[in-house]
Amino acid sequence: MKARRYSSALNVLATGLLVLLVTLLVLFWARWGCESARHGLLPRQAWSLSVDASSLIMPRTVQEPNGIPCTVHAEMAWEEIDVAALGATQYQESQRLDAPDSPVYAWSTDETGVRLYYDRSLGMVVYSCTVGQSKPDGTVLLKKTIAYAGPEGIADRPDEKLGRFRDPVVRLIAGNLDRPIVYDRVLRQFFAIDGPGKAVKQGPPWPANFVGPVDFGWPRKQPRYLNLYLDTLEPHYTYGTDPDRALVLDATGYIQMLDLNTLGYVGSVGRLPVPDSLFASVRRVAPDDLFAFEVMPVFLGRGDLYAGCAVAVLSRDATSMKLEVFDPNGIRVAMQQTGFSDHVPMGSGRSGQLSMVRALYFKLPGAAALTATKFILESLHPPVLLWLSYFTASRVEATAGHRSLFVLPNSFAAMKGRDAESWWLGRFVGALPFLLPGVVVGIVLSRLVGRDARRKGLPTRARRLRMAATVLFTLPAYVTYQITRPTTARVTCQNCGRDRWVDRETCHHCGSPWLVSELIPPTWRVIGQPEEQTCNDPSPRPEETISNA
Amino acid sequence: MNDKPIVVEDLVKYYDGRCVLDGVSLEVPRGCIYGLLGRNGSGKTTMIRILLGLEPPTRGRTLVLGEDSMRLSARAHGRVGYVAEGHNLIQSYRVGRLISLCKGLSLQWNGEFFGRLVETFRLPMDRRVRELSAGMRAELNLALAMAIDPELLILDDPTLGLDTVARRQFLELAIDVIQRQGRTILFSSHILGDVERIADRVGILVAGKIVVDCTLEELKDRVKKLRVIFPERAPEDLYITEIINQQNQGREMVLTVANWNRQKQTILETFRPESCTELPMTLEDIFIECTRPASAPVLQESEV
Amino acid sequence: MLTLIKRELQDHAVHIVLAALICVGMVGQVILTAYWGVAGVGLGIDAAAMVILLVLFCMLGAAQMYTDRANRVSALLATLAVTRTRILAARVLAGAAIILAMLVPLLITAVAILYVTGAPLALYRGTIAEVSTAVVLTSLACYCVGLLMGWTTNKAIPAVSALFGILLIMLLVVVKGFGISAMVLLLLFSIASLLRVWYRFTSVSL
């Protein structure tokens, strides 16, 4: 009996898990369709920004007293953004050779070509190439060179004395293969590998409270979907990287300047702008809070004069974009964010400037319906997961949030959870309109489950467990109950007249045992005692013994 | 070895709200040939299927070789031979393949004995099971059940489809099995002549209950059919308990009584019958009397 | 147990042959594409073939349960020296063995081709392991969908519901990618499906 109960409980749990997965998948794709439709409400031109950056260049040239026109543009790959967020796309992107976390920095499919990569098994950055040496007789001798670089130095062979990089981020500043810069997230130090000089320079060790870099050189996230470029007529002005300096974006969203000779910071030159959001009260953003960003440094001349940087960001839910330009001292000199220009219609013949987010959620034709649909879909999500989304709102990385099945970092509740302006109680109260509908649905379904369970005669403990599960998980729990509830036949109880289960010894309504037989057997019996009678057990006949195989 | 290879305790089975078995209890002692009888739809096959774990009981429990039927181990299954009603075999298999499968899944296999059976029944190895006649399927089923040298043999109407010769051969085989010490057979059949020939003990299912569970001799001894002639019209009520059947026609009464004893004899004599003759009954006669519904008319011999 | 597994493999030889043909075709196509073909076209054909293979695995599971129910195979087997759990375990082991036998050569071929074309395989061992495991788990999940849906006497139900199940599995992989989270979910899905199949199989009338 106990074994039967355990296996029945296992069956309920297994069924519940299956139903939960199926429900969450269906809800996910419904929400995804909603978000895709929302992005489709706007034309392509709405997803590009341009800002005048002439102030970065004008005062610095003496040859051009009237300055050189210079514009910074940011564009979002509007039609690809919804597919971009899916796990399959993200996984494919992350495995490309040129992905930010790729261990390969240069790779020639020809073994004689240049290869620069991080070998995890050795913990070293490996450089290999084939160099041709001309001989006196005119022939060319191909010589393969391999170098192994660790935190402590470079050698021709992997050596323990070279140390091990644990979790490196490697960048080729100015495309210089001979001088990769390494930041090790475990060792918390910068390293500069000098290939020709066969030396590794170590930067100063950072203190324990130091906020480590997320990226450096030309910090970018999701570069295929957010494109930042500078438009100027003067080719002498370049933008890109300087062999002696690099921008560093840290985990709090600040942009620092790194001196590649000393491998130390020399000053703050900007920060990630805060894009518009539905509850526009977040004061600052970290790289993890953004779906995409790009930090583009601007250098003048041959790259030895830092003129400032342009930063573009795409919000967590990809509904707003912002572009800011900073001067060399880190002061913002220009800003623009997505909105509407006059010629973009907004329904009812009106046009004008509007917050992009508000327009996408409320004002544009069809936006309100999509918002209502999003609200309904989130209310159908299991309340326990929706409440978890509220409490973990800031902890989920932005792109991961788009492929999340269980918690909803882009839900209204989570958006409210990231509201930094209110006190925690005010924030919670503000989120209740988004959190409570799911609970109400759960309570309604739970009452239905309880009523049916009582009718079916489920034990009190089981009934309460089912009801509690329905409050916490609503739809999946309700469907699970319908699938796994007992289906044993019932007959009329002779005592109370109500339906009773045939597999119970007593009636679950009145407690009566089985008083009257379902069938009417005869009153007589002919029952012998087994012990009194002996069955025939003749000894085996010798001629018929059977041999076993 | 288990003293009681089969134990049934208060077994109840419902099919979609319809009760088939209503508190059946019985024990089959080791070494016994137990004949389970009942009319069509009385629950014999259901009880056997519950014993083998093919059906879950609604209430109550059954033990086979000391193990709960719903949790029979592979070892216990391997010690039980089963011939199902309708001879449930994998129809698409060839006979040879089916034999290999059963042999591969058996704990022990008496190849010599099986070979003799195959020869005796003349079973074709290369034909598919569905191409065999009903009788040949029965023989194959029987041979497969016997080849594993079972400690307990459960036969659900095993001679269905067998011709007379094959039936006789089966009975001899059954006796052969039982002669090996400690072997037990539970079988149900509608051919009561066969049951009478080999069974030690019989059980009869009526209205979901076991109404008879005793040895054959005891059954014949305790169930009596009497023809009583009264001086005047036969009384409607004799005040005798456990009357199985009573037919009155004028002064004549034919009475079938269970557990006939001196006390009942005395009660009958108080009505001063002119004569009281015991009519001999075969097992078939007893079975018909026991299973006839109370309201059903009895065809008199003159009317047959 | 081996007897039961052998029986399963013999009874569903058709599915094995079909799956083998598709896999051989895919291996040949991968080799041809690597040396002569257009990468995009090759990938498209491979993807379509992979989907067909997943459908076949699902149909295998459904066929195993359907033929058992329709032909009352377990009603016979359960009276022999085996338990229902063992019958089901042999069935699942046979299915898993078929899946691995089909996919492992395919994955080995793909890795070999990548190696020959000079890709940095040694640096992407983790990725190769992840993708391989995800493909195997996806196939197993599709097979489990077939097992779940196959226990019926109606021919249409396993076909329709299995296709729906496969669609869900593939959509799950699209949502989650091939990483650890997808693998965990696929594994949980497979375990839950097998538990439910086991419960139904061991409690139903045979």
Report pLDDT digits (tens) over A354-365.
Answer: 678 888 898 888
Nearest to B89 among C2, C76, C205 (CB): C76
Per-chain mean pLDDT for chain A: 84
Q: Token pair for residue B243?
A: 């009357």
Whether residue A46 contacts residue A338, with contact meaning beta carbons closer than 8 Å, is answered with yes
The reply to whether A35 falls in a domain is: no
With contact defined as 3+ CB pairs under 8 Å, the chains touching A are B, C
- pLDDT band at C162, cuts 50/70/90? confident
Q: Is the pLDDT of residue B177 over 80?
A: no
- Sequence letter at residue C189: F
Report CA-CA distances (Å) from A398 to A20, A110, A221, A291, B92. Answer: 24, 38, 11, 5, 58
Assign A316 to helix, strand or coil: coil
Q: Return the pLDDT at A463.
A: 94
How far apart CA B53 and CA A86 sit, in angstroms, is 49
Per-residue pLDDT band at A542 (split at 50, 70, 90): very low
Judge if A60 and A13 occupy the same domain: no
Amino acid making up residue C8: E
Q: Where are the alpha helices (DSSP H) in chain B?
A: 44-51, 74-78, 95-104, 111-121, 134-147, 164-179, 192-198, 216-222, 262-269, 283-291
| Coil/strand/helix, residue A268 | strand
Q: What's the rounded Cα separation, in Å, for the pair A131 and A142?
A: 6
Question: Are residues A393 and A521 part of one domain?
Answer: no
pLDDT average, residue stretch A421-427: 80
Phi, psi of A545 (to 5 degrees): -70, 140
> N- to C-terminal Cα distance for chain B?
49
Across the range A366-372, mean pLDDT stands at 94
A55 and A120: one domain? yes
Q: What is the pTM of this model?
A: 0.89
Question: Based on the domain organization, do A188 and A107 belong to the same domain?
Answer: yes
Mean pLDDT for B59-71 is 94
H or E stretch including C157? helix C156-176
Token pair of A435, please?
């959190």
Q: Which residues touch C31 (CB under 8 Å, ≥6 apart)?
A: C109, C113
Question: Could you tell me if A59 and A9 lie in one domain?
Answer: no
CA angle A292/C124/C98 to nearest 5° reads 110
Cβ-contact A147, A157 below 8 angstroms: no
Please count the other Cβ atoms lying within 10 Å of the Cβ belonging to residue A303. Answer: 17
Work out the average pLDDT over A239-251: 79
Closest to A465 measured CA to CA, from A483, A453, A455, A475: A453
A295 and A398, same domain (yes or no): no
| Residues 6 or more apart in contact with residue B165 via CB below 8 angstroms | none
Q: How far is A546 from chain B (nearest CA, A)?
A: 7
In a domain, A350, yes or no: no
CA distance B162 to chain A (A): 24
Contacts of B173 (CB under 8 A, 6+ apart): B117, B142, B146
What's the alpha-carbon Rg for chain B, to the nearest Å?
A: 22
On whether residue A85 sits in a domain, the answer given is yes
Residue A10 three-state SS: helix
ipTM over 0.90: yes
Interface touch A17/C192, C-beta < 8 Å: yes
User: Domain range holding A464?
Assistant: 2-22+366-484
Same domain, A330 and A374: no
Q: Which residues on chain A are in Cβ contact (under 8 Å) with B58?
A: 488, 502-503
The verdict on a CB contact (< 8 Å) between B74 and C81 is: yes
Residue with tokens 């137990």, as numbered in its chain: B34
Lowest-pLDDT choice from B25-29, B79-83, B136-140, B171-175: B171-175
Q: What's the number of domains chain A is made of?
A: 3
Locate the chain A residue with the closest alpha carbon to C179.
Answer: A91
pLDDT (average), residues A393-415? 92
- pLDDT-derived band at A346 (thresholds 50, 70, 90) equals low
> C199 contacts in A (CB within 8 Å)?
7-8, 10-11, 14
Query: Are A77 and A104 in a shared domain?
Result: yes
Tell me the average pLDDT across B194-220.
92
Chain A from 113 to 152: CB within 8 A of any C CB: 115, 117-120
Q: Which residue has the higher pLDDT, A147 or A205?
A: A147
3-state secondary structure of C184: helix
Instruction: State whether C75 and B88 contact (CB < 8 Å).
Output: yes
Q: Nearest residue of A to residue C189 by CA position?
A: A18
Pair A248, A203: CB distance under 8 Å:
no
In a domain, A28, yes or no: no
Mean pLDDT in residue range C122-138: 88
Residues A475 and A500 in one domain: no
In 3D, which of A74, A23, A39, A79 has the Cα closest to residue A53?
Answer: A74
Q: Report yes or no: B8 and B24 within 8 Å, Cβ to Cβ.
A: yes
- Show the CA angle centred on residue A165, arms to residues A164 and A168, nearest 5°: 170
Nearest to C81 among B84, B91, B105 (CB): B105
What letters, b where the CB count within 10 A reaches 16 and e where it falls short, cover A199-210?
Answer: ebbebeebeeee
Query: Could you tell me which residues come within 8 angstroms of residue A20 by beta carbon, excluding any fewer than 6 positions away?
Result: A382, A473, A476, A480
Question: What's the pLDDT tens digit per position in A304-319?
Answer: 678 889 999 999 988 8
Q: For residue A541, what pLDDT band results from cuts at 50, 70 and 90?
A: very low
Structural domains of chain B in order of their starting residue, each with its CATH number: 6-207 (3.40.50.300), 218-291 (3.30.70)
CA C130/CA C179 separation, integer angstroms: 6
Rounded to a whole number of angstroms, the distance between the first and last alpha carbons of chain A is: 40
- Residues C70-96: tens digit of each pLDDT: 889 999 999 999 999 999 999 999 999
CB contact at 8 A, A167 and A184: yes
Cβ–Cβ gap A533/B244 under 8 Å: no
Q: Collect all residues of chain B within an 8 Å Cβ-Cβ radius of residue C86.
A: 74
- Nearest-10 crossing angle of helices C156-176, A87-94: 50
**Dihedral sign from CA coordinates of C31, C33, C34, C36:** positive
Q: Is residue A379 part of a domain?
A: yes
How many CB pairs below 8 Å do chains B and C form together? Answer: 58
CB contact, 8 Å: A518 with chain B?
A: yes
Which amino acid belongs to residue B166? A
Looking at the domain assignment, is residue A321 inside a domain?
yes
How much is the pLDDT for A61?
53
Q: Which pLDDT belongs to residue A539? A: 38
What is the structure's pLDDT at A489? 77
Pairing outcome for strands A245-250 and A104-107? unpaired
Question: Which one is predicted more confidently, A302 or B136?
Answer: B136
Q: Is A414 in contact with A289 (CB distance < 8 Å)?
A: no
Residue B212 · residue B42 · CB < 8 Å? no
- Indicate if the pLDDT at residue B166 is higher than 90: no
Query: Do the domain assignments include residue A98?
Result: yes
d(CA A235, CA B14): 91
On whether residue A27 sits in a domain, the answer given is: no
Please give the full DSSP string across B210-230, using - where no structure is assigned. EEEEEEHHHHHHHEEEEEEE-
The neighbour count for residue B42, using CB atoms within 10 Å, is 21
Residue C123 to residue A88, Cβ atoms within 8 A:
no
- Asked if residue A420 and residue A275 are part of one domain, the reply reads no
A434 and A498 fall within a common domain: no
Name the pLDDT band for A522 (thresholds 50, 70, 90). Answer: confident
| Same-domain check for residues A465 and A499 | no
Asked if A516 reaches chain B (Cβ–Cβ under 8 Å), the answer is no
Residue A530: its pLDDT value, please? 63
In whole angstroms, what is the distance from residue B121 CA to residue B162 CA? 11
Give me A85's structure tokens: 């967020």
Q: Is B258 helix (H, G, I), strand (E, B) or coil?
A: strand
Between A24-38, A234-248, A529-543, B209-223, the lowest mean confidence (pLDDT) is in A529-543
Nearest 5°: the CA angle B190, B196, B197 is 115
Q: What is the pLDDT of residues A42-65, one digit of tens each?
A: 777 778 899 888 777 655 555 555
Is the backbone of residue C58 left (phi > 0), alpha (psi -120 to 50) or beta? alpha
Residue C144 and residue C189 in contact, taking contact as beta carbons nearer than 8 Å:
yes
Which pair of structure tokens corresponds to residue B217? Answer: 């001799």
Length of chain B: 304
- Residue A544: is its pLDDT beyond 50? no
Q: Are A231 and A73 in contact (CB under 8 A)?
A: yes
Could you tell me which of A6, A12, A5 has the C-alpha nearest to residue A473?
A12
Residue from the list C168, C192, C202 with its beta carbon closest to the beta carbon of A25: C168
The whole-chain average pLDDT of chain C stands at 89
Report whether C106 contacts C23 (CB < 8 A).
yes
pLDDT tens digit sequence for B219-233: 999 999 999 999 988
Rounded to a whole number of angstroms, the distance from the CA of C79 to the nearest CA of chain B is 6
